[in-house]
């Protein structure tokens, strides 16, 4: 198998196709559709080309409502925002989908159409209108690429008292992905206290994330139901470390902190897993071994017995003298479904972990700056008969593959 560029394959590959060595045929890319109306119309089943804005109003009311609802989540692809398009299309669509009975609202696309100079004012106005006209929302989603949010030069739009009060009115929120705003920790604690049903939170934190003793006590009271807490911050690494440790220690029900421990686990694939059978232990499901967790004693499988997604950042974890002792403890987990290894983890150790967890493994991600000559595709597929997602990043290799097991997604970046 040889590949010199990054590819993404979806679907299942049968053994017969591999034996006959029929080359994979790539579906021709669809033509680029610049118009958001055309894109949404094609997704909604209105396949007519050059579907125009004016034709929307000729659709039956239920079709028009569906198109408007989907339009809210479709991002603008234009580098320069069209003010007229926002005024004549996006704003009317937003007003029409907003009503008292709506429970799920994805405004990622709507926000992406904001003219740059008006983005702050329009973001505030959007939140105020949601608070007034959609009080029964259970899911509010405004996403932004994590790479942009993690940029140290990124200037977050900070929440203020009025915005905070508006969000606090949405008492039924279970999922809040507010990735275009940043909160101070005191404001975030207030938000958690006012939203008692909140289970999934993804947002940004300002540099003021250090917590005093009183705030640390409030953390558990304010987020009694929180399962997933994803965040980005421009704060120092040490402060982010301290916050992550504090959340894991204080919130026994938390399942994911700061970020997912698998690049193959998409946000929209995540679902809230059941409660612990027996109270008292940690319910952490995503564990990343890096600069933070690395130096702890080798009893990780006892501290976090329900981990399903394990990531090892070798650039940090591999620095510690006791990492081999900890690696022995990593073989004691009982529920591993996903493994991710980054920054040149030695292939023998990779093979060791694959051998242990392969029978139940669903996802594997290996990033290596060294040649992958010791990591054999057939070894991976034979060891992982249930594998659905595979990503390999590194040097090129030759190998005839006899079976892809249950693979549904394959991503290669080989040179």
89-110 pLDDT per residue, tens: 788 889 888 988 999 999 998 9
Name the least confident of 39-48, 209-218, 273-282, 367-376. 39-48
Evaluate if residue 161 carries a pLDDT over 70: yes
Q: What is the pLDDT of residue 177?
A: 95
194 pLDDT band, cuts 50/70/90, is very high
Name the least confident of 34-48, 113-127, 159-173. 34-48
Contact (Cβ atoms closer than 8 angstroms) between residue 175 and residue 138: yes
Mean pLDDT of 62-87: 75
Q: What is the pLDDT of residue 29?
A: 38
237 pLDDT band, cuts 50/70/90, is confident
Mean pLDDT of 291-300: 58
Evaluate if residue 140 carries a pLDDT over 80: yes
Helix, coil or strand: residue 131: helix
164 pLDDT band, cuts 50/70/90, is very high
Classify 100-414 by CATH class.
Answer: alpha beta
- Tell me the sheet residues that pair with 231: 203
Mean pLDDT of 157-163: 91
Q: What is the pLDDT of residue 386?
A: 94
Q: What is the pLDDT of residue 93?
A: 85
Mean pLDDT of 254-271: 77
Contact (Cβ atoms closer than 8 angstroms) between residue 372 and residue 397: yes
| Residues whose CB falls within 8 Å of the CB of residue 309, separated by 6 or more in sequence, listed in order | 260, 261, 262, 265, 285, 286, 287, 336, 337, 338, 340, 363
303 pLDDT band, cuts 50/70/90, is confident
Tally Cβ neighbours within 10 Å of residue 303: 16
Query: Who has greater pLDDT, 344 or 145?
Result: 145
User: What are the residue boundaries of the structural domains of the chain, listed by start?
Assistant: 100-414
Q: What is the pLDDT of residue 36?
A: 60
Query: Who has greater pLDDT, 384 or 21?
Result: 384
Proportion of the chain above pLDDT 70, given as a percent:
73
Q: What is the pLDDT of residue 281?
A: 80
- Mean pLDDT score across all residues of the chain: 78
- Cα separation, 201 vs 206, in Å, equals 15
37 pLDDT band, cuts 50/70/90, is low
- Cα separation, 292 vs 289, in Å, equals 7
Torsion of CA 208, 210, 216, 218, to 10 degrees: 0
- Cα separation, 259 vs 236, in Å, equals 16
Q: What is the pLDDT of residue 222?
A: 94
- Cα separation, 130 vs 94, in Å, equals 10
Backbone angles phi, psi at 244, to 5 degrees: -60, -45
């Amino acid at each position: 198998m040889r590949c010199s560029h990054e590819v993404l394959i979806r679907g299942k590959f049968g053994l017969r196709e591999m034996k006959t060595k029929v080359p994979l045929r790539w579906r021709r890319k669809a033509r680029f559709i610049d118009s958001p109306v055309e894109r949404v119309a094609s997704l909604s089943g209105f396949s007519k080309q050059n579907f125009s804005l004016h034709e929307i109003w000729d659709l039956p009311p239920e079709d028009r409502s569906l198109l408007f609802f989907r339009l809210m989540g479709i991002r603008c692809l234009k580098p320069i925002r069209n003010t007229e398009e926002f005024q004549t299309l996006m704003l009317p669509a937003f007003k029409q989908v907003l009503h008292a009975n709506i429970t799920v609202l994805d405004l990622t696309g709507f926000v992406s159409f904001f003219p740059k100079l008006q983005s702050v004012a329009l973001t505030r106005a959007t939140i105020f209108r949601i608070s007034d006209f959609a009080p029964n929302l259970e899911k509010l989603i405004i996403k932004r690429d994590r790479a942009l949010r993690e940029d140290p030069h990124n200037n977050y739009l900070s929440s203020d008292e009025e915005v905070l009060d508006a969000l606090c009115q949405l008492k039924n929120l279970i999922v809040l992905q507010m990735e275009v705003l940043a909160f101070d920790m005191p404001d975030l604690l207030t938000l958690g206290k006012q939203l008692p049903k909140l289970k999934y939170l993804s947002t940004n934190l300002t540099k003021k994330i250090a917590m005093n003793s009183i705030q640390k006590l409030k953390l558990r009271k304010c987020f009694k139901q929180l399962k997933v807490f994803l965040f980005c911050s421009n704060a120092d690494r040490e402060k982010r470390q301290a916050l992550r440790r504090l959340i894991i220690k204080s919130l026994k029900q938390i399942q994911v902190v700061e970020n997912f421990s698998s690049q193959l686990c998409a946000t929209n694939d995540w679902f809230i897993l059941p409660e612990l059978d027996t109270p008292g232990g940690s319910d952490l499901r995503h564990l990343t071994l890096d600069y933070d967790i690395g130096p702890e004693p080798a009893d990780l499988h006892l501290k976090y017995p329900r981990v399903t997604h394990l990531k090892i950042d070798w650039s940090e974890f591999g620095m510690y003298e006791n990492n081999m002792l900890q690696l022995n403890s990593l073989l004691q987990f009982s529920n591993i479904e996903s493994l991710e290894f980054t920054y040149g983890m030695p292939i023998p150790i990779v093979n060791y972990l694959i051998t242990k967890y392969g029978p139940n493994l669903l996802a594997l991600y290996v990033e290596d700056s060294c040649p992958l000559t010791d990591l054999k595709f057939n070894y991976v597929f034979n060891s992982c008969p249930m594998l659905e997602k595979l990503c390999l990043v590194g040097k090129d290799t030759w190998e005839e593959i006899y079976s892809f097991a249950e693979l549904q997604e394959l991503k290669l970046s080989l040179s």
